[in-house]
Amino acid sequence: MSNASESSSAVPVLETRGLTVRFGGHVAVNGVSCAFQRGTLTAIVGPNGAGKTTYFNLVSGQIPATAGAVFLFGKDISRLPAPLRTRRGIGRAFQLTNLFPFLTVHENVRIAVQARAEVGIKLFSLWDSRRDLIEKADAILEEVALAHQRDLPAMNLPHGDQRKLEVGLMLALEPEVFMFDEPTAGMSVDEVPVILDLIKRIKARGDKCILLVEHKMDVVRELADRIVVLHNGTLVADGAPAEVIASPVVQEAYLGVAPKSAEAA
Amino acid sequence: MLNNMLSRDLPRSKLLAAILLIIIVGLLATPFVFPGARSLNVGAKIAVFIVLAASYDLMLGYTGIVSFAHTMFFGIGAYGIGIASTQMGPTWTAVAAGTLAALILSTVLALGISLFSLRVRAIFFAMITLAVAAAFMTMASQFSDWTGGEDGLNFKVPELISPAFSLSDEKFLGANLDGKLIAYYMVVLISGGLFLLMLRIVNSPFGRVLMAIRDNDFRSEAIGYRNVTYRSLSSVLAAVFATLAGVLYALWLRYNGPGTTLSFDIMIDVLLIVVIGGMGTLYGAVVGSTLFNIAQGYLQDLLKLAQGNIDSLPVIGALFHPDRWLFWLGLLFVLSVYFFPFGIVGKLRAGALAKTRRSA
């Protein structure tokens, strides 16, 4: 079960091998090996504390791994710090909203657009004179339905809009790997479709690799091509959605239902 | 054109624009409207401290890092001029050499401190700057053959900007047309240019990354910026501008000593100027420096004036004694921080914003 990647000949976009992190005596992520292909959406599920967000942090470089390795297009990126992983194509939207509170909504996106454009260190040119970056940021604001809030400081946005901006920052980076960490958490019912449509659109392009941590099983069923289940930091199931959801190990680990019979596992 | 000169970062408040205009006109007109050595001194000091405080704001307000070594760089600039002028004589070559040497030393020191400490944590930077600044102060007083020790250095400046130089024997609008006048305008105009340059830097793509790092350093890394690079460069730039402020100050005073540019008292003054003026606005440095230096220069006189009338009253008379000016200055600061937590500029801008919202 530990490595269920397809028999595809192509090098996976993203792969982790035996990825492990220990905090003191606690093993938060334990030897997770998993490969993610282009054009697929993989949902990562598991109960609270299963290590999903920690796994994301190891992949995008926010915390260093104790053991194991992360590969992007077959290249080992385990030793790269987070900014360099981002530049190579790993995009991350955070579970807890992580914005630039005193910058406006538009500036938030524009700073990410600028990072993607690798503008470099320009001391004496005017930030307002880069029309291309401004227009691109505006286009992204349209995509996440925030154009009307354009000039508001990010901290004045309602929670749902902050979540959308969070995703907008990742879009601006135009990554190869999109990592959504509970993108709809705390959003009102009528706001959720904006994000889901957006994820569907990225998926429909067929050339990106999407990882999604999500608790809402209906969302997972609707979007995922594949489900990976983490439990106590260990990968316990990996496969097609219907199969994985039905499997007893998931019923127990994730839904908290005791398996009807031990043999079924 | 004005818009581009200000890097499209306009005051965004009519009142603030008016205040800035008054300060600029005031500084330019000082030699003719308020003749006399004292007002000229205050004016030049305002100009120099605008650069010094604005460069500190580059770090504190725009990048969110606290440094206690800012006056060290101010002092390096001033000592550069002082030492070069005493060793090489009062020539422009000495000025150029002193400035260049000071800039190199400041850059190396700032880069060293940054790379050494900013990799770890921004707070560690504050500690290191404190230690380095203290060490530098001791060194400045120990190497007294070069620095004049605690007494400092008196030196001559190139003739064009020395008081002995005379454009004309006639007075113009009550001002002597001498080298001191030329020096004054040199200080004010160069300060203005340096300020505009800093305004450009904070409104560049680089400047906006600094603000992003200030707001959320975790996220700025996550979208691909290497914080240590940006923070280090910000601290080097701040050091360079502080050094240039020191150069101007030394050329103006024709003197430099530990108490004039290096001391922690001045460090505190700069901190207060930035906080009271408004962090992260740069214009705050202009308003803060003007207010602070006028208060420092004239509060004592004002109290003397007040005391003349209430001398006979027991407690109040003592309270308004000219020697209590520091107490009143302190009180002014506490009140302004209490009522304007985002500084004077922050307050004015918030007021203007609320007004446009209401009318919209």
Does residue A157 form part of some domain? yes
Tell me how far apart the alpha carbons of residues B210 and B59 are, in angstroms, rounded to a whole number.
9
Q: Judge whether residue B329 has pLDDT over 50.
A: yes
C-alpha closest to that of A115 among B65, B234, B206, B122? B206
Which residue among A94, A119, A126 sits closest to B203, beta carbon to beta carbon? A126
In this prediction, residue A265 carries a pLDDT of: 36
% of chain A beyond a pLDDT of 70: 92
The 3-state DSSP class for residue A33 equals strand
CATH number, residue B202: 1.10.3470
pLDDT in tens, B188-197: 999 999 999 9
Does residue A77 form part of some domain? yes
In this prediction, residue B194 carries a pLDDT of: 98
Tell me how far apart the alpha carbons of residues B262 and B260 are, in angstroms, rounded to a whole number.
6
Does residue A254 form part of some domain? yes
- End-to-end CA distance of chain A, in Å? 12
Expressed as residue numbers, the domain containing B119 is 2-359
**Residue pair B357/B347 in contact by the 8 Å Cβ criterion:** no
In this prediction, residue A264 carries a pLDDT of: 39
% of chain B beyond a pLDDT of 70: 99
Contacts 24+ apart (CB under 8 A), B22-31: B23/B286, B23/B287, B23/B290, B24/B192, B26/B290, B27/B188, B28/B188, B30/B184, B31/B175, B31/B181, B31/B184, B31/B185
Put simply, the answer to whether A86 touches B224 (Cβ < 8 Å) is: yes
In this prediction, residue A96 carries a pLDDT of: 83
Put simply, the answer to whether B221 touches A122 (Cβ < 8 Å) is: no
Q: Judge whether residue A174 has pLDDT over 60.
A: yes
* Residues A161, A62 share a domain: no
Partnered with residue B270 across adjacent β-strands are none
The tally of CA atoms less than 13 A away on the side-chain side of residue B242 is 32
Element (H, E) at A257: none
* Residues A225, A165 share a domain: no
pLDDT in tens, A17-45: 999 999 988 999 999 999 999 999 999 99
Does residue A185 form part of some domain? yes
Average pLDDT score over residue span A1-17: 67
Which residues in chain B have their CB less than 8 angstroms from residue A169's CB? 219, 223
Tell me how far apart the alpha carbons of residues B62 and B42 are, in angstroms, rounded to a whole number.
28
Q: Which residue has the higher pLDDT, B9 or B105?
A: B105
Q: Which residue has the higher pLDDT, B259 or A264?
A: B259
B3 touches chain A (CB under 8 A): no
In this prediction, residue A253 carries a pLDDT of: 62
Instruction: Strand A209-213: give its sheet, edge to edge.
Output: A90-93, A177-181, A209-213, A41-45, A226-231, A234-239
Average pLDDT score over residue span B44-63: 97
Average pLDDT over chain B, rounded to an integer: 91
Which residues in chain A have their CB less than 8 angstroms from residue B216's CB? 98-101
For residue B179, the distance in angstroms to the closest alpha carbon of chain A comes to 33
AA identity, residue B24: I
- Point out the least confidently predicted range of A1-15, B41-55, B167-181, B339-353: A1-15
Which residue among A100, A126, A172 sits closest to B216, beta carbon to beta carbon? A100
Does residue A250 form part of some domain? yes
* Residues A160, A43 share a domain: no
Residue A1 — very low, low, confident or very high, per pLDDT cuts 50/70/90?
very low
Which residue among A81, A98, A107 sits closest to B208, beta carbon to beta carbon? A107
Q: Tell me the two tokens of residue B171.
A: 């007075």
Of the candidates A129, A159, A174, which is a domain's last residue? Answer: A174
Does residue A109 form part of some domain? yes
* Helix B14-33 / helix B343-359 crossing angle, nearest 10 deg: 140
Tell me A12's DSSP state. P
Put simply, the answer to whether B211 touches A98 (Cβ < 8 Å) is: no
* Residues A152, A224 share a domain: no
Residue B41 — very low, low, confident or very high, per pLDDT cuts 50/70/90?
very high
Expressed as residue numbers, the domain containing A40 is 1-89+177-259
* Residues A242, A226 share a domain: yes
Q: Judge whether residue B185 has pLDDT over 60.
A: yes
Put simply, the answer to whether B205 touches A87 (Cβ < 8 Å) is: no
Q: Judge whether residue A259 has pLDDT over 60.
A: no
Tell me how far apart the alpha carbons of residues A45 and A228 are, in angstroms, rounded to a whole number.
6
Residue A261 — very low, low, confident or very high, per pLDDT cuts 50/70/90?
very low
Q: Judge whether residue B17 has pLDDT over 80.
A: yes
Of the candidates A174, A195, A227, which is a domain's last residue? Answer: A174
Average pLDDT score over residue span A105-113: 97
pLDDT in tens, A181-226: 999 888 888 888 989 999 999 999 899 999 999 988 888 989 999 9
Of the candidates A157, A174, A191, which is a domain's last residue? Answer: A174
3-class SS shares of chain A: helix, strand, coil, % to 5: 40, 25, 40
CATH number, residue A21: 3.40.50.300
Q: Judge whether residue A263 has pLDDT over 50.
A: no
- How many domains are contained in chain A? 2
Tell me how far apart the alpha carbons of residues B341 and B360 are, in angstroms, rounded to a whole number.
26
Does residue A265 form part of some domain? no
Q: Judge whether residue A160 has pLDDT over 80.
A: yes
pLDDT in tens, B92-143: 999 999 999 999 999 999 999 999 888 777 778 999 999 999 999 999 999 9
Which residues in chain A have their CB less than 8 angstroms from residue B233's CB? 121
Q: Judge whether residue B332 has pLDDT over 80.
A: no
Does residue A63 form part of some domain? yes
- How many domains are contained in chain B? 1
Tell me how far apart the alpha carbons of residues A30 and A28 are, in angstroms, rounded to a whole number.
6
Residue B323 — very low, low, confident or very high, per pLDDT cuts 50/70/90?
confident
Which residue among B7, B209, B222 sits closest to A86, beta carbon to beta carbon? B222
pLDDT in tens, B142-158: 999 999 999 999 999 99
